[in-house]
């Protein structure tokens, strides 16, 4: 099962039919994906399931219905065990961004962390899970699939938020500070932090 966030609310892609209670169920093959997305953004849907019997085909089917943007990002630790966070568009987030032509995703993740925060000397430790969310760009909906990597650095210089990306602050946060900023973050960032064992 995949969990895609639309307007910070979950849209599940599943191969199991569950008894409907507090959500709506749609057939992936016949659904008009744009109509569902619009209802999410109008707050008419809080949670929905898109069903397809073959789990291996689910992602392929959704990609046929909505263009995909691939991105890379970093869950970065410094030598004190603190985690790198950015503040943009009124929310706490992790540095990430879109892949460029002929770039491998690991290079995208490192480049984006460097560009958005000014932090250098990054080393990838391991691949984390992907996150999925739908956003609107130039009047079109797109599915962003972000590949996350756990990174480490000894960097202790000045950090600079990338202004053209709307980044107002770049900070290192310890484990005690993270739960508070997650109150004002995105669901997929909370999910990533929980599942990667930060806290």
Averaged pLDDT score across all residues of the chain = 94
Domain identity same for 30 and 111:
no
What pLDDT shows up at residue 6? 96
Query: Where does a domain end: 65, 80, 97?
Result: 65
Contact 131, 146 (CB under 8 A): yes
Distance CA 88, CA 136 (A): 17
Cβ neighbours of residue 32 closer than 8 Å, sequence gap 6 or more? none
Give the pLDDT of residue 198: 87
In CATH, what number is assigned to the domain containing residue 113?
3.90.79.10
Lowest mean pLDDT among 11-20, 29-38, 171-180: 11-20
* Cα–Cα distance, 49 to 120 (Å, whole number): 41
Residue with tokens 């990609």: 63
Looking at the fold, whether 81 and 149 belong to one and the same domain comes out as: yes
Confidence at 199, pLDDT banded by 50, 70, 90: confident
Query: What are the φ/ψ torsions at residue 64 (nearest 5 degrees)?
Result: -75, -25
Last residue of a domain, one of 38, 65, 92: 65
Into how many domains does the chain fold?
Answer: 2
Give the global pTM. Answer: 0.92
Looking at the structure, do residues 98 and 162 belong to the same domain, yes or no?
Answer: yes
Report the first-to-last Cα separation within the chain, whole angstroms.
24
Q: Name the residue among 102, 79, 50 with its Cα closest to residue 155.
A: 79
Residues 61 and 138 in one domain: no
Report residue 1's pLDDT band, with 50, 70 and 90 as the boundaries.
Answer: confident
Query: Do both 14 and 98 map to the same domain?
Result: no
The whole-angstrom separation of Cα 54 and Cα 159 is: 46
pLDDT > 90: percent of the chain: 89
In terms of domains, do 57 and 82 share one? no
Tokens 């984390």 found at? 128
End of a domain among 42, 65, 88? 65
Is the pLDDT score of 20 beyond 70?
no
Q: Please report which confidence band the pLDDT of residue 162 belongs to, taking 50, 70 and 90 as the band edges.
A: very high
Which pLDDT belongs to residue 23?
74
What pLDDT score was predicted for residue 21? 66
Residue 46 shares a structural domain with residue 84: no
The whole domain housing 42 covers 2-65
* pLDDT reading at 101 higher than 70: yes
151 and 82 both lie in a single domain: yes
Rounded to whole angstroms, the Cα distance separating 29 from 11 reads: 15
Cα dist. 57→17, 54, 62, 123, 185 in Å? 16, 5, 9, 34, 31
pLDDT digits (tens, 9 = 90+) for 22-79: 678 899 999 999 999 999 999 999 999 999 999 889 999 999 999 999 999 999 999 9
- Give the C-alpha separation, 47 to 10, whole Å: 5
């Amino acid at each position: 099962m995949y969990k895609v966030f639309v307007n910070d609310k979950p849209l599940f892609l599943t191969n199991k039919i569950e008894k409907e209670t507090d959500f709506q169920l749609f057939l992936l093959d016949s659904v008009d994906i744009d109509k569902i997305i619009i209802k999410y953004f109008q707050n008419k849907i809080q949670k929905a399931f898109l069903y397809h019997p073959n789990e291996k085909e689910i992602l392929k089917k959704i990609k046929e219905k909505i263009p995909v943007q691939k991105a890379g990002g970093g869950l970065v630790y410094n030598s004190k065990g603190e985690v790198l966070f950015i503040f943009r568009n009124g929310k706490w987030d992790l540095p990430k961004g879109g892949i460029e032509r002929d770039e491998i995703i690991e290079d995208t993740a490192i480049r984006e962390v460097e560009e958005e925060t000014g932090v250098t000397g990054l080393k990838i430790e391991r691949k984390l899970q992907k996150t999925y969310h739908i956003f609107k760009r130039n009047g079109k909906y797109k599915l962003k699939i972000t590949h996350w990597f756990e990174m480490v650095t000894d960097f202790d210089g000045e950090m600079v938020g990338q202004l053209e990306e709307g980044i107002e602050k770049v900070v290192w946060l310890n484990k005690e500070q993270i739960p508070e900023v997650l109150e004002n973050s995105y669901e997929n960032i909370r999910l990533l932090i929980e599942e990667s064992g930060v806290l």
